[in-house]
A and B are shown apart, each in its own frame.
Chain A
Amino acid sequence: MRETRTSAGWGHLLGVLVVAPLLVLPVRAAADVWRAPALLPHELGTRGFDVLASPGTRVGEAVVTSLLVAVVATCVGMLLAWPAARGLAAVPAGARPALVAVLAMPLLVPQFATGTGLTTWFLRLGLADRAAGLVLAHLVYLLPYAVLILAPAFDDRVRRLEEAARTAGAGTLARLRFVTLPAAARPLTVAALLGFLVSWSQYGTSLAVGGGRLTLPVVLLPFVERDPQVAATLSLVFLVPPLVALGVVAAAWRRSSVRP
């Protein structure tokens, strides 16, 4: 009993440790004047938003690029990861670890290294400074995650269900619509969410490949030293997708723990 109570205390402590640091962001974002060593801001206001909205900063453009690239990269990633995951699930179990290792290799390599290497080709192909180049570069990191998450969805159970549907006379589309998609819905959601976040968070690849095409993390970083209020305001924007993802993941966990 005592052990349970101590570990509940640890859980609370962890919660505080995780959430409390984030609270500085809204305060810093709303603090127009906040000189050291005061613990509370002197003046509250919307200067952070005003600076972001001014045309010189190119922040709006960067947010749109980030969103566009993340959405396109996620969609393309899912379309490519789907057949790859099916293929991986069909590979004999003995050969799978080696294949997974090859697939996961890019995740271990520094993003700036991949980006710099790709840039030498993209310059020739006319993809540097383009959103398409950013999408391709982000796919290097998005695809391995997507395939690894989706592969377990296509286990024997799903294949047996598809086989049964085929025997019952269901066509390819009907099988996809009524058997495969519902069975793979949850891993597909998780893979898409994570894929979006992987693209959204990319810094090294975007800096190397993007050139004049800025993304949100690339415009955010210089503000941290130049103007912390603007950096905090942008960080709040940057934080929205992870929070949405957390909500979805939490809901999924709750559902799975309620089920028998």
Chain B
Amino acid sequence: MTIVLFGGALAGAVRASLQPDPFSGAYTLSAWRSVVTDAAFRDAVAFTLVTTVAATVLSVVLALPVAAALRGRAWARTVAALPVLVPHLLVAILAVLWLGPGGLADRLLGGMPLDVVRSRSGVGIVLVYVAKEVPFLALLLLAAWDDDIAAREEAAAVHGAGPVARFRHVVVPGLRGPLTLGTLVVAAFVFGSFEVPLLVGPTQPDTIATYALRVTRIADLSGRADAAAALLVATAGSVLLAVVAGATVRRHRA
């Protein structure tokens, strides 16, 4: 069922991208040509890649110490579960109310030290995803951070390994599986980000998904085809990411 719907969606997108004029029914590559030669699309790809890398790296780096702090604390785990369950859209709204122009932080500090919401640098998008994905990654890591790893940490400590060495040589290798999986999921989320940049991202540059929305809204039949072509680029990026992550996991297992 998933495969039928999902395959259907992909096939529909490919078809739409090749058929800019549904009345004539002719297939052309014109949508692909117009998207690839559009400078705004290339900016969108670059912007999407930068925000994806920044948000993913920051989330992973922060998630490890947060997971360490949460170990063995049931109530803290419950608190950390809340951001995982709250929709991205809501986190973006909170970012606007707190950090936007005239928001609470603006009022408290009497002026923001740097623009977060709608900033061209994309810092707002990165911040929303970090806030949402650090708890997600921390919970994922906690689920795998079991007694076995704890016992090995203890053994390493007995042999004189300091906290940093224990972390590097015992904890990180033990958590490699969930860490890779989590990184992949986070990167894919940010890569496809849509409602978050609509609220806290700049008008220019777009992310790939908001670019697609913008060209769809241009009152012209070719807009749909351009959007489909752009979204297929995003889809290909996500799939490529998954293949790379899968290959990494397999290599480490072998």
Contact = CB atoms under 8 A, between A and B. Distances in A.
A249 B104 contact: no
A76 to B, nearest CB: 9
Per DSSP, chain B at the interface is helix
Interface string B150-180: 0000000000000000000000000000000
A250 B85 CA distance: 12
B77 interface: yes
Interface in A172-208: 197, 200-201, 203-204, 207
Interface residues of B, number: 76
A208 to B, nearest CB: 8
A224 B96 contact: yes
A112 B94 contact: no
A18 B135 contact: yes
Contacts of A232: 93, 97
Interface stretch (B11-19, B23-31, B35-43, B53-61): B11-19
A253 B135 CA distance: 17
B114 interface: no
B5 interface: yes
Contacts of A21: 94, 98
Interface string B135-159: 1000000000000000000000000
B45 interface: no
B6 A114 contact: yes
A47 B105 CA distance: 24
Contacts of A118: 5, 8-9, 12
A7 B6 contact: no
A1 interface: no
B219 interface: no
Contact of A120 (B3, B16, B87, B234): B16
Interface of B: 1-3, 5-6, 8-16, 65-66, 68-71, 73-83, 85-90, 93-94, 96-98, 102, 104, 106-108, 110, 135, 184-185, 188, 191-195, 198-199, 208-209, 212-213, 216, 224, 227-228, 231-232, 234-235, 238-239, 241-242, 246
Given A24-B97, A197-B87, A249-B78, 16 more contacts: A10-B66, A19-B79, A21-B94, A39-B108, A103-B2, A105-B6, A105-B242, A110-B192, A110-B209, A112-B194, A116-B13, A117-B9, A117-B11, A144-B2, A203-B87, A221-B199
